[in-house]
Amino acid sequence: MKSRNYIVHIAGVIAMVFWGMSFVWSTQVYQNLNPTATIFLRLVVATVFFTAILFTFRLNEKVKKEHLGLFALAAMFEPFLYFIFEGYGLKNTSPVIGSAIIAMIPLVTPIAARIFLKERLTPMNIVGFIVSFVGVIVLLLNKDLEFTASPKGILFLSGAVLVAVGYSIALIKLTKLYKPLTITWIQNIIGMLYFAPMVIIMERFQPSNFANVSGYIVPLACLGVFCSAVAYALWAFTFSRLGASRANVYSNLIPVFTAIFSYLLAMEEMTLFKIIGIVVVVCGLVLSQLKGKKT
């Protein structure tokens, strides 16, 4: 039983590693493609990947018609609305700051989970949420204790936070009906259909440089396979075991991994505030997963 619990936590961490790196990969792709085109192609890659895996190993499940509405709602939240807000938010912020604002999701999710899912939390869980969020705030500060994010970027990314919370509620319901692989596969297919007309519209205003394939093919493939396919499947598995509130605290690891990867790739410097923020985030994450008397 304990070994299975470790697997759940490892799955959550791996998902955050991929999503932390997604901010770096997205920034690289945006040098050639606009966010809408990037997301659409990312979903195409993920759908092809999952279709091959599910049918090759005969892991596909039959989806009931009465559940298609719930799938459509979940896909409307993520990937559709979430990626639009995140994509255009990221164009106005750095990878680390963008991921740090997205990490506000765990602070909002427990409130929604308590209202809609009746999830109960321990005082230690709540302390962990707060400590981890403080670490995220530290990541956002520069050496002069000033925030380094643009208002426009914050506005878009705040929208991403809100729709992510809505997705968490829908995802919990879906994990009680289907396996994580099936949920992620159907979600990507519907999301791809949502984005198809958006690509045509946005290309008129912000044309993409599709011809420069060598400039974006590798990070795009990584976004599709690792971030839209593998990470979402691992995330659905983590949600099904931990619940929306405790699972979403792992989102605070996204800016941690983004900061590390950005530093290793020489995209951003590793400041003292970022190091302190990383340590505080991890401490808060550990506290949030401790068990105790529920409230």
Contact in structure between 277 and 135 (CB atoms under 8 Å) = yes
Report pLDDT for 261: 83
Please tell me which residue, 2 or 41, carries the higher pLDDT value.
Answer: 41
How much is the pTM?
0.76
Residues 163, 234: Cα–Cα separation, whole Å: 20
Report pLDDT for 185: 93
Residue 51 backbone phi and psi in degrees, to 5: -60, -45
Which tokens hold the place of 8? 């759940």
Residues 155, 230: Cα–Cα separation, whole Å: 29
* Cβ atoms within 10 Å, residue 294: 10
SS3 142: coil
Instruction: Say what percent of the chain tops pLDDT 90.
Output: 34
Instruction: Give 235-266 pLDDT, tens digit per residue.
Output: 989 988 888 777 877 877 877 787 788 788 76
Q: From residue 162, how far is each of 60, 102, 145, 264 by CA, in Å?
A: 31, 10, 27, 31
What's the distance, CA 203 to chain centroid?
A: 25
Which tokens hold the place of 234? 């691992």
Mean pLDDT score, 152-167: 86
What's the distance, CA 68 to chain centroid?
A: 22
**CB-count burial class (<10 Å; 0-12, 13-18, 19+) for 231:** buried
Residues 16, 125: Cα–Cα separation, whole Å: 19
Pick from 94, 95, 89: nearest CA to 153: 89
Instruction: Give 65-87 pLDDT, tens digit per residue.
Output: 999 999 999 999 988 998 888 87
